[in-house]
Amino acid sequence: MEIQRINQENEEKAEQERIKRVKEENRKNKICTIIIVSGVTAVLIIVLAWMFFFEPYGRYKEAEKMISAGREIEAFEIYNKLGNFMNSSEKKDRLKKKNVILVLANAETGDVLSLGNYQGELKWIVKEVDEDKILLLSQNCIEYGRQYNSGGGSYWTGCTLRSWLNGEFKDTAFDDQTKKYIIESKLTNERGQDSVDSVFCLGVDDVTGKDGYNIATLPDGTPVNWWLRTESGTFGKQANCVKSDGTISDNVEQNDKNEAVRPAMWIKRID
């Protein structure tokens, strides 16, 4: 009987020890769970704080630096992506009223605005408005005496006027920020090959009976003829121009020096 009692006591002690170990393990597991959950929660809070405050705040401050450096369009794009973060929306609207590229977002046909500088401030007429781009036509003519092609007969694709517009003129008149928004446009030419140009002359089809913008002057008010890109004559040896009275003249010798240049270009619209 004594042995049986001792065995029973030992079993009870063993059971108690087992229960004690189980409780201790459960306690440790709960502590580990709490630590893990707390850690995950802390990491999640940090990630969310970074996503919704610190990272946007960094971009917000970056936009402020861009404005100070005169990079307003890039700042606008950042504010646009930030949405309602802090006062980004308000700053975006303020820039939209100030910067000429941003002003174009609300431009209408017939508006006149300043953009670029070539021997003085350049003013442009909003000639056409599409969903994502705007056609600008120089209000005044420039470079009186510049030839369509200094070497004589040529198609638009090979003429010196085209090279000058897309080279020296573009590089001189516009800063790098503005150039990003000038579209390389595919132009259909009546003769020769179609072309891709950033800055160009209008074609005959662009001015025939389209609007009242045919008559143009130099900046000092002197009426002048201005080149069209459309060639004429046998083998494209001549070119068309708009005369000072607004009518169109064809068969003008391409090395003639009695015409001026009236640049046109398509500009991207920013929403």
Please write the tens of the pLDDT for every residue from 20-39: 776 777 777 777 777 777 67
Of 26-30, 86-90, 201-205, the one with minimum mean pLDDT is 26-30
> If you search the block for the tokens 């930030």, which residue do you land on?
82
Residues 72 and 128 occupy one common structural domain: no
Whether pLDDT at 213 is above 80 = no
Q: How confident is the model at residue 147 (pLDDT cuts 50, 70, 90)?
A: very high
Q: How many separate domains does the chain show?
A: 2
198 within a domain of the structure (yes/no): yes
Amino acid at 144: Y
Whether pLDDT at 14 is above 90 = no
173 within a domain of the structure (yes/no): yes
122 within a domain of the structure (yes/no): yes
Residues 129 and 166 occupy one common structural domain: yes
103 within a domain of the structure (yes/no): no
- Are 160 and 150 in contact by the 8 Å Cβ rule? The answer is yes
Q: How confident is the model at residue 16 (pLDDT cuts 50, 70, 90)?
A: confident
Residues 152 and 258 occupy one common structural domain: yes
Residues 135 and 264 occupy one common structural domain: yes
Domain boundary among the residues 98, 123, 146 is at 98
Own/partner pairs for 111-116, CB < 8 Å, 24+ apart?
112/139, 115/174, 115/178, 116/173, 116/174, 116/178
In the chain, the percentage of residues whose pLDDT exceeds 90 is 37
Cα 268 to Cα 133: distance, rounded to the nearest angstrom: 4
Residues 88 and 116 occupy one common structural domain: no
Report the pLDDT value the prediction gives residue 113, as an integer from 0 to 100: 87
Residues 160 and 73 occupy one common structural domain: no
Going by the DSSP 8-state scheme, the letter that residue 70 receives in this structure is T
What's the pTM?
Answer: 0.68
Residues 148 and 226 occupy one common structural domain: yes
Residues 60 and 163 occupy one common structural domain: no
- Are 147 and 257 in contact by the 8 Å Cβ rule? The answer is yes
- Are 98 and 79 in contact by the 8 Å Cβ rule? The answer is no
Query: What is the residue range of 37's domain?
Result: 2-98
Residues 167 and 83 occupy one common structural domain: no
Residues 125 and 94 occupy one common structural domain: no
Cα 252 to Cα 271: distance, rounded to the nearest angstrom: 42
Residue environment code for 11-37, b if the CB has 16+ CB neighbours within 10 A, otherwise e: eeeeeeeeeeeeeeeeeeeeeeeeeee
Domain boundary among the residues 36, 68, 98 is at 98
By residue count, the chain amounts to: 271
Residues 86 and 131 occupy one common structural domain: no
Report the pLDDT value the prediction gives residue 26, as an integer from 0 to 100: 74
27 within a domain of the structure (yes/no): yes
Q: What is the largest CA-CA distance in the chain?
A: 135
